[in-house]
Structure 1
Amino acid sequence: MSKRQSSFMLIVSLLISGVVFLQMGLYLISILAGWNVRFNLVEVCHSWIKAFGLSSLEYVLDGFVVYTLLFAIWKIGLHWFHAARMKKRFELYKENALTIAMNQTYNSGKKEIIVISYPAPVAITVGLSRPKIVVSTGLMSLLNDDELTAVVYHEMYHKESRDPLKIYLLSLCSSTLWYIPILKWCHQKYRIVNELLADGFAIEKQATSVNLGSALLKMLKVGKQETMPFAYASFADTSVNYRIDYIVNPFMDIQLKLPRRVVFLSAMIFSLICALFIYALA
């Protein structure tokens, strides 16, 4: 499993989504500012629709674009609301003494790990601009020192790679532009790849997969972690089967093949819907 795969899925998703949102943004600017965007595909596709006698679709297309933009704004606002709410809860349940001790142990005193008082085992990385690792007292009581270190190393990879931000962008693209199925595939597979990369980092740091494997099994026995309504990278709620295979045999190369049907369907939808429906605005 290579980092090239995760980078490929991230870039493909952002490129597809970027083209769609850029054209929509240019169109809105042209309306609000009275700016005539020359050579914009909006005008080209709109003239095609009129040429084929489909001018009645203009209203449908307008509604579709408005829906997409409003849905994107709603998703962004919802994320920031829940993230701000959860940040306050983390501060409320923060264990100051344990937080200081954990940061001294793993980060030379830097404030990058937060320990919260919570009975269930929690190990997540949160924050889009300045990600932090959050672990619970329930996790610390469940695992031994070596297992806890493996989990922290795993989350450190997510923090250094800024995975919460990347996961958030992929989630936003796939949910807002749900009619392009390759975006959902990239979002799901990106999480799998990056969990394996984080596992590989932890195994490399400890020179063994025993601690990581036992920590994962203990957390799975306790039960699946509760999902949260904002972007985060979690230790034990994603791609468990792939990760168990990888931990048993870290030298195994797990390849994720592009589904031809999804690629073909996405290409068709991107060409037809994005070009004709999103770009084709009067």
Structure 2
Amino acid sequence: MYKRQSNIMLLVSLVISGAIFLQMGLYFISKVAGWSIRYNLVAVCHGWMKTFGLSSLGYVLDILVIYTLFITLWKIGSQFYHAVRMKKRFEQYREIRLTNDMNRTYGEGQDACIVISHPMPLAITMGFIRPKIVISTGLMNLLTNEELHAVISHEMYHKEHRDPLNIFLMALCSSTMWYIPILKWCNQNFRIVKELLADEYAIEKQQTSVNLGSALLKMLKVSKYEKMPFAYASFADTSVNYRIDYMLNPLAEIEWKLPVKSMLLSLTIFSLICALFIYALVLA
């Protein structure tokens, strides 16, 4: 059930945002290169505004397009800059022997984990194309072998499903397309669902939720998490209340309360875009 919900949230966000990004990109290129793009929605908006004597609003539309494209490029650039910078820092503190041991034990012959020397317990998955699990020596000293196995299994789910990339795409869509509020709801709940799925995977691996639950509680007691400036999947800083409820009662499902107002507003905006597209086809 949760897997289907996460896929729907991701698909809805990518389809809505992708369509708008494509139109804005084509419009921007047409303005810069002087191309004539016949079915561009933003260009149709301009035509409507001129028809109804609202040509001055065209400048507002230009600002929105430029702002959206600029923020998108800025966030993508910032993501790669901070991710590369943090990766270099992790390499400096890399424990080679422990990393090799961890990969032999849990990596199934792959270079899946990196162990760093750090006193604070840390367990995250980072990277888009080839995600890596980063574990700190502080975490290894805090947890038992069974608890550590549960945490790594949780992060293995994120790694295998490339969740850092999905989390970044969802956050990018919701932050740049702020005028479609349903994207923000999808982004928030997508992260919750992904953590529950990772917990489910770890529990299935060990056939018990005891180790995962005790590891989570230990990390919550000693850790003070600060958000890092790049996309990643972390074990103990997301959706804690939902996850504890799930561990206590795995058979119970979360009742998602759909934001009616946000849905109606988003549907109105989306319908307007569809109407403009149909109008463009009729004029062809």
User: How high is the TM-score relative to the length of structure 2?
Assistant: 0.93
Distance 1:121 1:275, change over 3 A: farther
> Contact 1:45–1:275 at 8 Å: present in 2 too?
no
The offset of 1:33, in angstroms, is: 3.6
Q: 1:80 — aligned with what?
A: 80
Query: Does residue 210 of structure 2 align to residue 210 of structure 1?
Result: yes
Q: 1:107 — aligned with what?
A: 107
Distance 1:120 1:234, change over 3 A: same
**Deviations 1:179-225, CA, capped at 9 Å, x for gaps:** 22111111110000010000000000000000000000001111332
**Deviations 1:104-128, CA, capped at 9 Å, x for gaps:** 0012331110000111110000001
| Number of residue pairs aligned between Structure 1 and Structure 2 | 277
Give the secondary-structure state (helix, strand or coil) at the position aligned to 1:30: helix
**Deviations 1:120-167, CA, capped at 9 Å, x for gaps:** 110000001110100100000000000000000000000011100000
The offset of 1:226, in angstroms, is: 2.1
**Larger mean Cα displacement after TM superposition, 44-53 or 130-139:** 44-53
Q: Give the AA of the match of 1:20.
A: I
Q: 1:224 — aligned with what?
A: 224
Give the secondary-structure state (helix, strand or coil) at the position aligned to 2:11: helix
Counterparts of 2:200 and 2:216 in 1: how far apart (Å)? 14
Q: 1:198 — aligned with what?
A: 198
The offset of 1:171, in angstroms, is: 0.8
> Contact 2:27–2:43 at 8 Å: present in 1 too?
no
**Deviations 1:5-58, CA, capped at 9 Å, x for gaps:** 000000000011001100011112323343322233233322211111100111
Counterparts of 1:272 and 1:120 in 2: how far apart (Å)? 50
User: How high is the TM-score relative to the length of structure 1?
Assistant: 0.94
> Contact 1:123–1:135 at 8 Å: present in 2 too?
yes
Counterparts of 2:275 and 2:157 in 1: how far apart (Å)? 39
The offset of 1:255, in angstroms, is: 3.0
Give the secondary-structure state (helix, strand or coil) at the position aligned to 1:11: helix
Q: 2:23 — aligned with what?
A: 23
Q: 2:164 — aligned with what?
A: 164
Query: Does residue 135 of structure 2 align to residue 135 of structure 1?
Result: yes
Q: 2:46 — aligned with what?
A: 46
> Contact 1:150–1:211 at 8 Å: present in 2 too?
yes
Structure 2 unaligned regions, length at least 5: none
Give the secondary-structure state (helix, strand or coil) at the position aligned to 2:226: coil
Structure 1 unaligned regions, length at least 5: none
Counterparts of 1:258 and 1:151 in 2: how far apart (Å)? 31
Counterparts of 1:2 and 1:219 in 2: how far apart (Å)? 25
Counterparts of 1:183 and 1:105 in 2: how far apart (Å)? 40
**Deviations 1:72-110, CA, capped at 9 Å, x for gaps:** 111111111100100000100000000000000012331
Counterparts of 2:274 and 2:71 in 1: how far apart (Å)? 16
CA RMSD of aligned residues (A): 1.7
**Which of structures 1 and 2 has the larger relative contact order (alpha carbons within 8 angstroms, sep 6+)?**
1
Q: Give the AA of the match of 1:4.
A: R
Q: Share of identical aligned residues, percent?
A: 69
> Contact 1:163–1:233 at 8 Å: present in 2 too?
yes
Give the secondary-structure state (helix, strand or coil) at the position aligned to 1:134: strand
Q: 2:70 — aligned with what?
A: 70
